[in-house]
């Protein structure tokens, strides 16, 4: 288990390490867009990782290519469907709600 904090609400959840951010957020009841069901094809689950980026899986080619097509991407950007949680706490900022 690890801790996931969601901004802007500030809610904190105990989530299972080894799951994607998308699955952890959905399991916690957070509303997050995911039009392509986790295939890194749409970019709708784009979010910012404010803390704990090193605890997440490394960005793979598919995610990186999709991030290159999204307006507003920064150094803290990840696709929730591709980022797998490690053992350390992570804080994310949701950009839009469903």
Residue that the structure tokens 């749409």 belong to:
42
Bridge partners, residue 50, by sequence: none
Instruction: State pLDDT tens for residues 40-74.
Output: 999 999 999 999 999 999 999 999 999 999 999 99
pLDDT of 20-36, one tens digit each?
999 999 999 999 988 98
Q: What is the pTM of this model?
A: 0.92
If you write DSSP's letter for every residue of 62-80 in order, what string do you get?
HHHHHHTTSTT--TTEEET
Domains annotated for the chain, with CATH where assigned, are 2-94 (3.10.20.30)
Query: Two tokens at 14?
Result: 């105990």
């Amino acid at each position: 288990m690890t801790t996931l904090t969601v901004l802007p609400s500030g809610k904190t959840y105990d989530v299972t390490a080894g799951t994607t951010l998308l699955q952890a957020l959905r399991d916690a009841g957070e509303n997050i867009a995911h039009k392509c069901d986790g295939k890194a094809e749409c970019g709708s689950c784009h979010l910012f990782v404010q803390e704990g980026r090193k605890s997440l899986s490394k960005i793979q080619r598919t995610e990186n290519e999709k991030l290159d097509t999204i307006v507003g991407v920064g150094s803290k950007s990840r696709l929730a469907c591709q980022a797998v949680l490690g053992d350390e706490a992570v804080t994310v900022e949701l950009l839009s709600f469903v």
